[in-house]
Structure 1
Amino acid sequence: MERVSSLPFPASVYAARLERAGALAAEAGIDAVIVGPGPDLRYLLGVEGDTIERLTAVVLGPGFEPTIVVPRMELAKVRDTAAGELGVRIADWVDGEDPYALVVGALPAAGGRIAVSDALPALHVIPIGDRVDARLELATPVLREGRMIKDADEVAELRRAGDAIDAVHRRVADWLRAGRTEREVAADIAEAIRAEGHETVEFVIVGSGPNGADPHHEVSDRVIEDGDVVVVDIGGAVPSGYNSDSTRTYVVGSPTAEQAERIAVLVRAQQAAVDAVRPGVTAHEVDAAARQVLADAGLGEAFLHRTGHGIGVSVHEEPYIAPGNDLPLREGMAFSIEPGIYFPGEWGARIEDIVVVTANGCVRLNNAPHALASVG
């Protein structure tokens, strides 16, 4: 019986990603790259899982065939990924054997420049380093390049995720009202994230009243009150592993005049940053576009974080839309635009969309209304 693949993309896509990683390594003068479990390995081969005490890693680079080192107890899972479909060489091992010797055996030589993925822990990096005649370095400059530029299939998955999270935001008014706790609202939202097409819930932030002034507040047992401004920042992964991430700000009842005015400025700041996106513009310049609108309105000090982050198989990845980042944007980059304003002890607000850089600008992947929404 022919095996039906559970991978989100054809095996040829993963073959091209491996080839691209090898070419990028060659351009950087890297002789070999060792990639452990995490977003990079998921991107390259569709291999899921987290780093554990038993080493799993793929060894790749210019001019030689990749090898995946894997515990024998995980062999069936690995064979059910692109590694199996592509016939990637597998070096399996059992407890009591030395997996690091297998890594060294897969390298083209004991010396040269060897880079490791940033998700590979010291638990494995140090034993590898002890066995090679090389100073290990981070593979991030090589691996991020492939992941930063999304192809049409990846953009389609991000759009699918964006549509799904928009559908959840359009239902928030059903659950957000005075008398309920943040945790109760978050539970309803999490259920809807799955119901609207996500496979996993990556995060749910419901920041009401003063809790909204903490950008990374998640949920609490605080009872939502009439008049609260509420930040709802939510996201998850669709079955392909690509993520959504979108924030809207709500008010229970009616806002004060000051709240309405300040949040209107925030909406303009977010739009200014979106309008600034196009190939060749730097990440810093996009961040500055949002920051300038807020500063002109006297709200510059209330913006506490960067304007955005890349998204794909991770919720947060490169490029980072931040002050001082002179990385020029390129077509196919996908990232958030999410300025916020925060007033400690009072309230906060944030507006966030995912955008993808196009030939002449960008396209939004989130289209739920941006203006302050009155609920309850």
Structure 2
Amino acid sequence: MLERNDATQERVRGYRLSRVRDALRNHECPAILLYDPVNIRYATDTSNMQIWTARNPSRYIMVFADGPVIAWEFHNCEHVWRGIDLPVEMRQAVGWTFFSAGAHAERRARVWAQEILDVLRQHAPNERRLAVDKLDPADTTVLVGHGLTLLEGQGVMELARTVKSADELVLLNESLRVCEKGIERMRRDIEPGMTEQDLWARLHEENIRHGGEWIETRLLASGERTNPWMQECSPRVLRQGELLAFDTDMVGPNGYCSDISRTWTVGHTRPTDAQRTLYDAAFSQIHFNMGLLRPGMTFREFSEQAWKIPEQYLKNRYSCVAHGIGMVDEYPSIAHQVDWDSSGYDGEFEAGMTLCVESYIGANDGVEGVKLEQQVVLTEMGCEPLTSCGFETEWL
């Protein structure tokens, strides 16, 4: 693995922007309008209040396949572009939401749309097509009313983000090392009598103090709240010997996500036979499936050959067998074979993909459950773990 040097970030920026432009050409799109703050971060390496701007569309960029990057930045925030060695034309964003425009929202939307049209005509004069990643219905109506054909852009960006460069892996590993510090802090501090929220705060603290950014979910549960999965942390007090499970979903340094799940006992007590049985199944599932992964394998083949979930755990299965990971959860999401007809889609694994292999094991009528997840990189030889965060192998 490469180590970071002064040029690493610059190479990453160039690689990612070239991936976006290549994806546009592959989809025969002249340009893409981006509002999703993660897509903006990927294309330009700029970030401005990502959670807030995800809810309040107030900064946006347009990337041309064979042309410039145009950036509309939030009020008086051009400074967030300092240090970014990227030729870009800066403009003032037009806010057209009810929050920012009130009764003037419709008029502002027309001003916004006219500027988008003018920029497209200037840099792609013979084109009336524009890819977009996310727009509200009113904005879509205005642009279509001006004769534009809008193309689905989120898929363009997901495919662009799929394959990581060696330099991206350096940055991703920096995020993972911070996540591991947070996990170790939780492991060290967990004790009966503290609350789920007390323990979860340790991960947040370590992330922020080491330059991380935000956490997408609050998935930490104990005791009977571990079954079913997808229960966010609460004021519940931890009890000696019960299971404690979590899923980090942590956007750390450099804007890359560290997505690791582990399950322990509170007080690190010896597990019961029932707890060991659950853990053994979850451990078997992710390690069996990791052993299958290889470049050139199709998503359908992976789903068909994946570890067969015992009937008593099938109803409470995790939502996918595996999924992509980068700045956040990314393409692809691999459906279980039992879900293939309703939610599966095919594709092919490539070297350079980073993935999370998932497991949740909990009986439908059971008391507790085990959540495990391992983040890996796909190489020509198969997959390699990206984290050294250990498993409870003495439970097996």
Instruction: State the TM-score, normalized to the length of structure 1.
Output: 0.85
1:266 to 282, 291, 294: 282
Whole-angstrom CA distance in 2 between matches of 1:172 and 1:71: 37
Residue 154 of structure 1: CA displacement?
Answer: 1.1
Residue deviations 1:145-174, cap 9 Å, x none?
221111111111222222332333334333
> Quick check: 243-252 or 277-286, which moved more?
277-286
Whole-angstrom CA distance in 2 between matches of 1:75 and 1:123: 27
> Quick check: 341-350 or 188-197, which moved more?
188-197
Residue deviations 1:37-78, cap 9 Å, x none?
41111100122232465653222233333322345533333x
Whole-angstrom CA distance in 1 between matches of 2:91 and 2:195: 51
> Quick check: 174-183 or 145-154, which moved more?
174-183
Secondary structure of the residue aligned to 2:253 is coil
Q: 1:72 to 1:191 in 2, by over 3 A?
A: closer
What residue number does 1:310 align with?
Answer: 324
> Quick check: 62-71 or 27-36, which moved more?
62-71
Q: 1:250 to 1:19 in 2, by over 3 A?
A: closer
2:117 to 104, 119, 130: 104
What residue number does 1:35 align with?
Answer: 34
1:130 matches 2:129: no
Instruction: State the TM-score, normalized to the length of structure 2.
Output: 0.81
Secondary structure of the residue aligned to 2:257 is coil
What residue number does 1:22 align with?
Answer: 21
What residue number does 1:80 align with?
Answer: 82
Map 1:249-288 onto structure 2 (within 5 A). 249-252=263-266, 253-288=269-304
Residue deviations 1:301-339, cap 9 Å, x none?
34242122222122x111213233321110111111111
Q: 1:185 to 1:14 in 2, by over 3 A?
A: closer
Whole-angstrom CA distance in 1 between matches of 2:88 and 2:209: 36
What residue number does 2:242 align with?
Answer: 228
Residue deviations 1:334-358, cap 9 Å, x none?
1111111123561111111111111
What residue number does 2:69 align with?
Answer: 66
How many residues are aligned here? 360
Given that 2:61 and 2:70 are in contact with CA atoms closer than 8 Å, whether structure 1 keeps it comes out as: yes
Residue 290 of structure 1: CA displacement?
Answer: 4.4
Unaligned stretches of 5+ residues in structure 2: 1-5, 96-106, 337-343
Secondary structure of the residue aligned to 1:309 is strand
Residue 268 of structure 1: CA displacement?
Answer: 1.0
What residue number does 2:389 align with?
Answer: 368
What residue number does 1:321 align with?
Answer: 334
Whole-angstrom CA distance in 2 between matches of 1:211 and 1:68: 45
Whole-angstrom CA distance in 2 between matches of 1:327 and 1:351: 25
Whole-angstrom CA distance in 2 between matches of 1:123 and 1:366: 44
Given that 2:58 and 2:93 are in contact with CA atoms closer than 8 Å, whether structure 1 keeps it comes out as: no
> Quick check: 280-289 or 346-355, which moved more?
280-289
Unaligned stretches of 5+ residues in structure 1: 1-5
In the alignment, residue 271 of structure 2 is paired with which amino acid?
P
Residue deviations 1:3-61, cap 9 Å, x none?
xxx99811x54344334323322221223211124111110012223246565322223
Map 1:148-297 onto structure 2 (within 5 A). 148-195=162-209, 198-252=212-266, 253-292=269-308, 294-295=309-310
Q: 1:238 to 1:103 in 2, by over 3 A?
A: same
Given that 2:220 and 2:244 are in contact with CA atoms closer than 8 Å, whether structure 1 keeps it comes out as: yes
> Quick check: 165-174 or 33-42, which moved more?
165-174
Secondary structure of the residue aligned to 1:214 is coil
What residue number does 2:89 align with?
Answer: 89
In the alignment, residue 329 of structure 1 is paired with which amino acid?
F
Whole-angstrom CA distance in 1 between matches of 2:191 and 2:183: 14
- When the two chains are superposed, the root-mean-square deviation of aligned CA atoms in Å is 2.9
Q: 1:36 to 1:194 in 2, by over 3 A?
A: closer
Whole-angstrom CA distance in 1 between matches of 2:119 and 2:89: 10
Q: 1:331 to 1:105 in 2, by over 3 A?
A: same
What residue number does 1:3 align with?
Answer: none
Q: 1:302 to 1:13 in 2, by over 3 A?
A: closer
Q: Percent identity?
A: 22
> Quick check: 270-279 or 303-312, which moved more?
303-312
Whole-angstrom CA distance in 2 between matches of 1:304 and 1:319: 15
Whole-angstrom CA distance in 2 between matches of 1:194 and 1:63: 38
Q: 1:245 to 1:63 in 2, by over 3 A?
A: closer
